[in-house]
Structure 1
């Protein structure tokens, strides 16, 4: 995923999209009938199709695709979707429906991709789907962990193999406001930034802002600021010769508070973390 983000921003967004809540329905293999066709305006679920044989069409919005065997498609939730046959040589496909929610948003509202990839190892993916189907039918206590784990792997593979992946960071007014707040915090790590200042940037009441910020990031404002500082401090410890006191000063923090904050964030004292550098 290419972007002009810095390391801290990439780390945040990577963790943010990984919070998607996955719910999976109907994993199956189907040889579709000649009458297989439908139109679904603003489809509420994502549809994933791994084409094994045959021909037909898929439509996402105004764009029509004619999938070939060995291609994996995701039709994103919220899009106008349609599908159908074009001959008696119909699709044989592995498929399932799923939701992937981050707050009120769908994952593929935030992560925008091309709708399909060419699978590198179709036989291996076929085995993965067979495992997915078996786990969904299982009544083992661990079965749902296995199901969601496989779907996470499939989404990761889809994103890594995709020719175009980008973050849509202006999906909603809330996202746009919070992105401005995050940028401000990134630029003022050395300052004592008040909740009131951040709330004004987002045009929220301070009490509402704290809840909205935590829902958006998973952190309270002070936790997120300390997360930013610890990520920056890790970089300074590994790539510069600044001593711990100088690094603490760069954040406008007392040495003892900085050291305690760093250990809470990373599990290491600053000096112990620096010892991890390759020698």
Structure 2
């Protein structure tokens, strides 16, 4: 393994006859740059994928900085100003593959990889290491160079498959979180509009099309409160507002979903440490 300047180790294999088509590998290599080694800011004419085998570093592209560590893969796009730098204390080790093709950008985008989302986190490193090695050993072993391009393209597509698989899991998780967020928003909106009625969490979940246990779980994860606690909070805050009006205690209780005024008073005391009458008197005395 030869050593390049600013690298502890470095090797690269070139495709002697890259095809002009959908996807074609130009070269592939692996290396271990010294701490603080930086490439760029610069613009590349081809696509370039790096997978971090160990250590860490940063990528800067499209006005954003990404920290990358073992198992992460980052993609550099042609005509985008980019720089990447090895950490000074824990310099990264990585493998890379440069490629081109009129389908490259569309294909990467279909995997969720774009200049705005250039990092795929925590891929199957063992598989990727195998594919990088296979790509490099595809070259300079066949009499017909077209076979080398075909073989390297095959291994490269498997590499892209792993990236897409890893990214799909991350995208699915993000979508699930977004869906959970929408569910919680719906539940909060429901409570905010229906708090005056004698509603239950079972009813809220059923009306929104969710299982009560599932709704309660994601609600607590998102807000830090159970749906029951959140509904109680809505009702009590509204009660505080109404107690400043001329409504009777019974009318305030009914207005916030408590047909039993005595039970409302007990609940309000838990909330404020005083009865509704004491709260009202304190506010009047404070005026």
Q: TM-score, normalised by structure 2?
A: 0.44
Choose 1 or 2 for highest CA Rg. 2
